[in-house]
Amino acid sequence: MYCTSCGVELQDEMRFCNRCGAVQAAATPAVQTVTGSVSPQSRVAATNDIVYAGFWRRWAALFIDQLVLGIPLVIVAILLAILFGLLSHGNDETAGVIVQGIYYLLWLVAAPLYYAFQESSSQQATLGKRALGIKVTDRSGNRISFANALGRWFAAALSYITLYIGFLMAAFTERKQGLHDMIAGTLVTDRWAFTEYPERQKRGLSGCLVVFIIGIVVIIPLTAILAAIAISQYQDYVIRSQVSEGSSLIDGTKTAVVEYLNNNNAFPSENAAAGLAPPDSIAGNYVSSVEVGSDGT
């Protein structure tokens, strides 16, 4: 610092110049101007306005993702079953083991890549999560890396091992984290959380989600029950039809057998002796033949 009157250098922020006695003005601290914008994550985090995805939204998203992954793999498995069935020349047991092994191998390759690529993408969500309006972030609301997303998928195995309790934790933890979220350091939030538009976040269950839950929890089980009843009734009808046809064909032979027994005091040894058509000629949809034996059967 220098004297404003005589220009001599002052020591230790002196307010008076020893040379000329001039009084020095108080130094004005420098003000630093920070340029640039504050990230949306910082602005929203400061307000604590974050809507975490609850158990039902996450479960519905998982259901959709399982369909997206499972249906193509089932189709592939069916095609492989047909192929191996033709190549195995009737050895269904070997073909079944091979197809099942290939199906699980495809699942173990497709599933982690499906989740990791999409949850680390710019959308931060799988197709199921996008449909339910949710996304995956780190603890600060930032986009996660591919490695983090891949580790999160493998961590989900612990939730399966714990009889799905790891998934159920999302309904009770403070930030709606499942066990695998805690291990991977991730959050599942509304798609508008940690953005410039936090007011667009959906709180509570949306109408579409309610309809979806009703459809999964009520309609599908009810349909399955009705289908099981229908199948049981159809099987009963088939059995009754088979028994009815057999009884009808046998009734036609009883008269000829009884007449032969009255005339010869013995049972006929074959159909021709009783005046009946050959066994293969007495047949129906469920009965291949009716043959008379020497003991009357």
DSSP 199: G
Smallest CA-to-CA distance from 134 within 217, 39, 51 is with: 51
pLDDT of residue 119: 96
Mean pLDDT of 247-266: 79
Residue 35 scores a pLDDT above 50: no
Q: Can you give the pLDDT at residue 216?
A: 66
Q: Which pLDDT belongs to residue 1? A: 60
DSSP strands (E only) in the chain: 134-138, 186-190
Helices within the chain (DSSP H only):
40-47, 55-87, 92-119, 127-131, 146-161, 165-168, 179-184, 207-214, 220-264
Any residues with CB less than 8 A from the CB of 64 and at least 6 apart, and which? 127, 128, 131, 132
Q: Provide the sign of the torsion angle of the four alpha carbons 62, 220, 160, 190, taken in this order.
A: positive
Percent of the chain with pLDDT over 90: 25
pLDDT reported for residue 88: 60
Q: Which of 74-83, 92-101, 167-176 is least confident? A: 92-101
Q: What is the pLDDT of residue 46?
A: 44
For tokens 């009815």, name the residue: 244
Q: If you average pLDDT over every residue of the chain, what do you get?
A: 78
Q: How many CB atoms sit inside 10 A of residue 37's CB?
A: 7
239 pLDDT more than 90:
no
Range in 109-123, 186-200, 259-273 the model is least confident about: 259-273
pLDDT of residue 218: 65
Please report which confidence band the pLDDT of residue 5 belongs to, taking 50, 70 and 90 as the band edges. low
Is 128 within 8 Å of 60 (Cβ atoms)? Answer: yes
Average pLDDT over residues 91-116: 81
The mean per-residue pLDDT over the stretch 143-167 comes to 91
